[in-house]
A and B are shown apart, each in its own frame.
Chain A
Amino acid sequence: MIKVVHYINQFYAGKGGEEMANLPPEKVKGFVGPGMAFNAAFKGEAEIVATVYCGDSYFNENKEAVDTVIAMIKEEQPDIVICGPAFNAGRYGVACGTVASEVKAQLGIPTLTGMYDENPGVDMFKSKTIIMKTKDNAAGMRKAVAAMAPVALKMAKGEELGSAAAEGYFPTGIRKGLFEEKRGSARAVDMLLKKLKGEEFETEYPMPQFDRVAPNPAVVDLAHAKVALVTSGGIVPKGNPDHIESSSASHYGKYDIDGVEVLTDKTYETAHGGYDPVYANADPNRVLPVDVMREFEKEGRIGELSHYYYATVGNGTAVASAKKFADTFSKELIADGVQAVILTST
């Protein structure tokens, strides 16, 4: 029987949501939560012997968390470790990716996780562990398990995996040779015809991502510059007047803070659903530092704080959407004469 250890977060372990995100690592025998579906999908060939879970914030903020998790996994001597899937949850994705790649590197045990393609964990870890492609939220769990279980079995048995496209994982960047049905020129003609018709085609070598923007020159005279605050941490006037979604935000808000000296729990709150809101709600300056910016303004460190700040929720929000938001409000920032931006993220 193949022995599997499953790594999940506090939410899937049934311990609670963001209020429990600071939970340190724990281990239980057998399966928990989504592990049940995995066990069923193994059809008797493999079994989850233990489940390790940890709060996402705890994992990302405590360097020793990964060591504790690895030690817990090592005790079980599994044949394979499955992490998540994390779908589009950024911190969970980073946790799954870290555990999977560290277990593979330190213990030499094959590992597998699953994520949505915009999860930042994909780019960070796809060359270090196998990451299966999943939907962006837990509604895709059944499909994810159905795809991940057979791949996990293959890996545990030491079988060679097929290509990324065939198996459904993100290309690892490790190039593998193969003989195709058609010669290259014929494949090129087929690909060109598809591209011309606007049909989907699959490139044989995805270009490495070089999307980098050159840094702008430094601000020369900050003492006379107008500085704006922007946040993806969801700080909004109390009551969330623009109804910014707590996850997968469809828009952003623009708020006037002229005359506001300090954000208080009476006047502002966070709309972000991806982290424990207690601290931000108690003191929103912890996310959007209006209080100290006012002091810098009075001290003459900066010229002035812009009347408006922009806020959205970075939780599960598509990169394309975030890009569009920023594209739009950047034009307004320029029109307002803003010379520098501080962007805070949670």
Chain B
Amino acid sequence: MKLELGIIKISDIQFAAESKVEGSTLYVNKDELKALILEDETFVSCELDIARPGESVRIAPVKDVIEPRVKVSGEGGVFPGWMAKVKTVGSGRTNVLKGAAVVTTGKIVGFQEGIIDMCGEGAKYTPFSQLNNLVLCLEPVEGTLQHAYEKAVRLAGLKTATYLGKLAKDIEAEEIRTYETPSITEGIKLYPDLPRVGYVLMLQSQGLLHDTYVYGVDAKQSLTTMIYPTETMDGAIISGNCVSACDKNTTYHHLNNPVIEDLYARHGKDLNFVGVIITNENVYLADKERSSDWSAKLCEYLGLDGVIISQEGFGNPDTDLIMNCKKIEAKGVKTVIITDEYAGQDGASQSLADADIAANACVTGGNANTVIHLPKMDKVIGHIEYVDKIAGGWSGSLQEDGSIVAELQVITGATNEMGFNKFSAR
């Protein structure tokens, strides 16, 4: 399977009379987009705003971040099962509005959505401070149940990203990035001497704000399975919104999965990137056992020499991570795990809830309990009063002067367990 990504660089977003992409500016007709979103009767209001890198802006509570993309050629459409019919994606060409993102916010659903600061201390930890963000602030009709509101927000984000992506359908991208995965047998013939490497992508699947969807299917209801790496680039996997903010994989992360990118970068040179195994993180022990058994079985079945395992979330998913690692190593397949840590504010506690000597190669996205001080921002998009409630905040986190003292956990994407960032710990 072969996919070309046409990279269209976006360096600014402006509201304008006509929605279009011109040069490197994305113009958005506010009223048109608003009307589209408000077709969903779950919402009583929808405010649009723009947050640019370096601006004194804080977005909270952040639910999801999505990159606008559009299918130029090849089967299916971006976000299959949601914004397009269920068709296998991942081939042909897809245009990407690189440098732009849709960020959804609004009344808090649970208590664990996140913060994006566009400048200052907090901006260092989130990759989304580097993007031009079109922010949707979505308020539900009174009495809307949490699940209904979450789903409506999820769809509004995908809808907006699709709307923006379509603006770039006919643009000839200057930069084309090509990704190709041969069939198993072709791969063996092409790279007989290279180690066969796979990627075990763990998807959080523990319920409200912890869910992940694959082609429209709730991951908790799926057995461990396989997909081509390029399918993820067309939105085959989407986030069921953020929790905990620092280590929940947003839809943006799934579209730009760094493990997939970095394995492709070495593909055919140092390794043979065979494919992606997707597995879930469910709440029942039997599910955990079954899913990790299947991960190990598929690794064996594919004749892999090594895998990278990425986690999502923390706490009981640490057990899923360790089960995957242990069982895959037991099949004679070498593993590297990517996780993050909850070592306490002083960094002195044990970092993971579970551990095993098989997990001897670990990459960490840092200690999520690290206390950070976020200066006051001139402008807040969303609702700042929730800061005391979100995971990583505490009563009094929001200071009288508008600054925030909280754990790194509150920052969207800060300790990402796909290894999206440079932040780490020793």
Contacts and interface: CB of A to CB of B under 8 A. Distances in A.
A204 B423 CA distance: 12
A210 B307 CA distance: 24
A191 B361 contact: yes
B120 interface: no
Interface string A156-176: 000000011100000101111
Nearest to A202: B361
A228 to B, nearest CB: 30
Nearest to A187: B363
Given A176-B425, A180-B422, A205-B362, A189 B262 contact: yes
A214 interface: no
Nearest to A197: B195
B188 interface: no
Interface string B21-37: 00000000000000000
A227 B362 CA distance: 44
B80 interface: no
B331 interface: no
B308 A189 contact: yes
Interface in B360-386: 360-367, 370
Contacts of A164: 426
Contacts of B355: 207-208, 210
Contact of B334 (A173, A177, A179, A196): A196
Interface string A171-211: 10111111111111111110111011000010111111111
A195 B341 contact: no
B206 interface: no
Interface in A117-153: 127
B131 to A, nearest CB: 16
Interface residues of A, number: 37
Given A173-B348, A187-B419, A193-B270, A205 B258 contact: no
Task: Summarize A's interface: helix, strand, loop or mixed.
Answer: loop
A211 B308 CA distance: 25
A186 B262 CA distance: 6
B266 A193 contact: yes
Given A203-B361, A205-B364, A175 B336 contact: no
B343 interface: yes
Interface residues of B, number: 53
B348 A127 contact: yes
Contacts of B197: 192, 196
Given A184-B365, A185-B261, A207 B357 contact: yes
Contacts of A163: 426
Interface in A33-80: none
Contacts of A211: 357
B19 interface: no
B424 A203 contact: no
Given A174-B348, A193-B270, A196-B195, A207 B426 contact: no
Nearest to B308: A188
Contacts of B346: 174
B255 to A, nearest CB: 14
Contacts of B351: 175, 205
B259 A204 contact: no
A69 B241 CA distance: 58
A204 B363 contact: yes
B362 A203 contact: yes
A176 B336 contact: no
Interface in B267-319: 270-271, 305-308, 310
Interface centre among B266, B307, B425, by most chain A C-beta atoms within 10 angstroms, is B425
Contacts of A173: 348
Contacts of B258: 183-186
Given A192-B197, A193-B270, A204-B362, A178 B259 contact: no
A336 B356 CA distance: 34
Interface string B228-262: 00000000000000000000000000000011011
Closest 6 CB pairs of A and B: A184-B419, A185-B419, A185-B258, A175-B347, A163-B426, A175-B343
Interface of B: 195, 197, 258-259, 261-263, 265-266, 270-271, 305-308, 310, 334-336, 338-339, 341, 343, 346-348, 350-352, 355-357, 359-367, 370, 416-426
